[in-house]
Chains A and B, each alone.
Chain A
Amino acid sequence: MQLTKEEIQHIAELSRLNLSAEEEEKYRNQLGSILDYVKMLDEVKTDKVMPTAQVSGLMDVFREDTVKPWNQEEAEASLSQSERENGNVKVKRVLQ
């Protein structure tokens, strides 16, 4: 299965990845051959099979909704190690 140049550019856009023209061409070929390979799953009959999303054997894991103290410095560094202002994270302009 060959992906078109437009399809690769669309996937890169969804992935938020800047790619060079050379990378686009490389991934177009490589993703095509990987997708060809995984297509072998089509030969498996699965209409009566339930999908598996996780294997923990657990369902609905709850905990008490209580606030616990957390070292301020550690909490802030966990939020962001870049620019912060009044406990908020500073980002680039969102609207033009």
Chain B
Amino acid sequence: MNLNELNIKQARELLDSGKTTSLEITEACLAQIAAQDGQIHACLTVCATEAREAARAADKRLKQGEKGPLLGIPYLCKDILMTKGIRTTAASKILENYVAPYDATVVRKLKEAGAVMLGKTNLDEFAHGASTENSAFGPTKNPYDLTRVAGGSSGGSAAAVAANMCLFALASDTGGSIRQPSSFCGVVGLKPSYGRVSRFGLLSMTSSTDVVGPIAKTAEDAEIVFKAIAGQDELDATSAPEKIIIDSQKNIIDSQAKTLSGLRVGLPKEYFLPELNPEIKTRVMALADRLKEAGAEIKEVSLPYTKYGIPVYYIITPSEISSNLARFDGIGWGLKDEEAQNLQEFYKKSRGAGFGPEAKRRIMLGTYTLSAGYYDAYYKKAQTVRTLIINDFNQAFKKVDVLLTPTVPHGAFKIGEKSNDPLAMYLEDIFVTGASLSGLPAISIPAGTVKVKDGGDMPLGAQLIGARFQEEMLFKISEFLV
């Protein structure tokens, strides 16, 4: 086995016993990136020099007897998280040459833990999309079939983990952006509860749903990374204080227990409509059967407002985007139009040239839904239906402890198949927006493969959604299943 193919747990054993070094694992990852990334295009920036330096520093710490779950472990970081001294582009022309003056809190935490950052991964521009085709620097290809998308918006992070370019990756999820690409690439992706992980230094998209989380090779690895990055941060006022987390945590499963007896698993009927691909239903039901064999109780539940998740999400998201992306005005950072004669013209020309089509579409849509005369009809309406969607989940979690659903209603699609139809792309998010709008933790885990149109078998994920701050339970069930 090549060193880049290790998962975190395996690498940990080899590093702690002195059988390998961080530098050797780092070199193996860099070699894999050099060999594969010309085709896959998961990375926007590779910082080999800084990575080797960080690996040597980690080796020194290891040699001095220091222990740490991520000490010396190489990873890749979605290029929407700020990294001091390494450019942060958000896959946008408007930030093509932007170098952040400080690290995002999650990046700083990983740095202190001794993890080794190899570079920055591709995404849909500003994380707007579900295929990574909206990247200004070209799409990421799925390692299982290079004619297909890796999913999005964290397509680069998911493809990089699947192709063993790193041991894990950081990503962000606003309405499925960790879970959908994880499903398409056959890896594990966790969207933590809203507020569980600091957003400081994450370029804002939809501030009311944005969350940073891990993409990893195993659920156990995802848990290790999650524990390293989670926690309240005084630089993010929406990050959750320890107290409300502890109050919300129920000990549903004993972490030592070998059975899942007492666990109640809900299958929301709105996620298993007759039009769902029967092969996908079979895969998810196979997981339900295994939970049942282990002692869990399986129940049908209903989330009646599910079908309104996408329309609510595609009003609230563009609205928040139109506000958040107003800061990219060409003045402080990023692409600027030098020819403009006055400030108004300067804004319009800089932004017109710097933003790609999907970012412009969302800015326009959000500006419209927030504008005088339309605010109540669109934005406020969406906010009230959001309340009903949250109530659905609250009701369901009175009857069950966790929900099991498909992550995406199909396998990875062909590059170009949906890129001219924004609405078709929005419908990608059908099973993932609910947890985002409600701030709930959700994990996508590999559930086998599914036949795709004009192709072979592609990876498929199943999603587990928990009540707020129930990440531990999601890991426990995932570790049992995968």
**Which A residues fall within an 8 A CB radius of B?**
8, 11-12, 14-19, 23, 27, 30-31, 33-35, 37-42, 44, 46, 49-58, 61, 63, 73-74, 77-82, 89, 91-94, 96
Indicate whether B52 reaches chain A with its CB closer than 8 angstroms: no
Q: A57 to B308, Cβ gap below 8 A?
A: no
| Residue interface bits B323-343, CB-to-A below 8 A is 1, else 0 | 000100101110010001111
In whole angstroms, how far apart are the Cα atoms of A80 and B314 in the complex? Answer: 32
**Which residues of B337-392 are within 8 A (CB) of A?**
340-344, 346-349, 351-353, 355, 357, 360-361, 363-365, 367-368, 371, 378, 380-388, 390
Besides A44-B308, A53-B383, 15 other A-B contacts (C-beta < 8 A): A17-B348, A18-B349, A23-B357, A30-B361, A31-B368, A41-B315, A50-B387, A51-B387, A55-B437, A56-B238, A61-B238, A80-B331, A81-B98, A89-B332, A91-B331
One of A11, A15, A63, A73 near B234 (C-beta < 8 A): A63
Hey, which chain A residues are within 8 Å of B352, CB to CB?
Answer: 17-19
Residue of A nearest to B340 (CB): A92
Q: B333 to A82, Cβ gap below 8 A?
A: yes
Hey, which chain A residues are within 8 Å of B426, CB to CB?
Answer: 34
Hey, which chain B residues are within 8 Å of A38, CB to CB?
Answer: 311, 314-315, 378, 382
CB distance from B222 to the nearest CB of A (A): 22
One of A31, A55, A63, A96 near B361 (C-beta < 8 A): A31
Hey, which chain A residues are within 8 Å of B423, CB to CB?
Answer: 30, 33-34, 37
**Which B residues fall within an 8 A CB radius of A?**
98-99, 101-102, 194-195, 208-209, 234, 237-238, 240-241, 244, 305, 307-308, 311-312, 314-315, 322, 326, 329, 331-333, 336, 340-344, 346-349, 351-353, 355, 357, 360-361, 363-365, 367-368, 371, 378, 380-388, 390, 422-423, 426, 437-439, 468
* With A27-B364, A31-B368: A51-B384 Cβ-Cβ less than 8 Å: yes
Hey, which chain B residues are within 8 Å of A51, CB to CB?
Answer: 380, 383-384, 386-387
In whole angstroms, how far apart are the Cα atoms of A46 and B341 in the complex? Answer: 48
Q: A34 to B314, Cβ gap below 8 A?
A: yes
Residue of A nearest to B209 (CB): A55
* With A56-B439, A77-B101: A15-B364 Cβ-Cβ less than 8 Å: yes
19 A-B pairs, CB-CB below 8 angstroms? A15-B322, A16-B348, A17-B352, A18-B352, A30-B423, A31-B365, A34-B422, A34-B423, A41-B381, A46-B381, A49-B387, A51-B384, A53-B208, A55-B208, A57-B240, A58-B240, A74-B102, A80-B333, A94-B342
Q: B343 to A40, Cβ gap below 8 A?
A: no
CB distance from B459 to the nearest CB of A (A): 29
Q: B365 to A58, Cβ gap below 8 A?
A: no
CB distance from B298 to the nearest CB of A (A): 28
One of B195, B363, B386 near A57 (C-beta < 8 A): B195
Hey, which chain A residues are within 8 Å of B383, CB to CB?
Answer: 51-53
Q: A15 to B367, Cβ gap below 8 A?
A: yes
In whole angstroms, how far apart are the Cα atoms of A12 and B357 in the complex? Answer: 13
- Top 6 nearest A-B pairs by Cβ distance? A18-B352, A51-B383, A55-B439, A77-B101, A46-B384, A38-B311
In whole angstroms, how far apart are the Cα atoms of A23 and B447 in the complex? Answer: 41
CB distance from A37 to the nearest CB of B (A): 6
Hey, which chain A residues are within 8 Å of B355, CB to CB?
Answer: 17
Q: A92 to B365, Cβ gap below 8 A?
A: no
CB distance from A30 to the nearest CB of B (A): 6
Hey, which chain B residues are within 8 Å of A78, CB to CB?
Answer: 101-102
Hey, which chain A residues are within 8 Å of B365, CB to CB?
Answer: 31, 34-35
One of B241, B347, B385 near A16 (C-beta < 8 A): B347
Q: B439 to A44, Cβ gap below 8 A?
A: no
Q: B311 to A41, Cβ gap below 8 A?
A: yes
CB distance from A85 to the nearest CB of B (A): 13
Q: A79 to B381, Cβ gap below 8 A?
A: no
* With A37-B311, A55-B208, A92-B342: A61-B368 Cβ-Cβ less than 8 Å: no
